[in-house]
Structure 1
């Protein structure tokens, strides 16, 4: 699933480590999500959106497989 975490995080001048701490996950988890190697749980998606001050559907882009 594509996402805009990195772009929004950079605009907010927040490091991966800072975001990870706010969401109670590791920096490696944030990195894996940003690089689309891991899809977050629903709970984590909501935590990310809350800490990045945006809606979940603004943060993640669902691309339906055909």
Structure 2
């Protein structure tokens, strides 16, 4: 799922390890999130959004992701 984790982390001058410590996960989890290889739990998404003073919707580009998913379903019809 497309997200802004890396963009916001870098803008904040934060390392992957620092973010991981703030949200109580491993740095591997942060790496996977940034590579869009892992979708977080709702609680983790909320914790990360809090760190960057944004919403889960903005952090995870939910409108854009929903539109992409809708398009993929339309292509199946």
Q: TM-score, normalised by structure 2?
A: 0.81
Higher helix share: 2
Gap regions ≥5 residues in structure 2: 73-77
Higher strand share: 1
Number of matched pairs:
66
1:24 CA drift (Å) = 0.3
Q: CA RMSD in A?
A: 0.9
Gap regions ≥5 residues in structure 1: none
Taking CA–CA contacts closer than 8 Å with sequence separation of 6 or more, which of the two structures ends up with the larger relative contact order?
A: 1
Q: TM-score, normalised by structure 1?
A: 0.93
Distance across 2 between alignment mates of 1:53 and 1:9: 12
Point out 4+ residue stretches in structure 1 off by more than 3 angstroms.
none
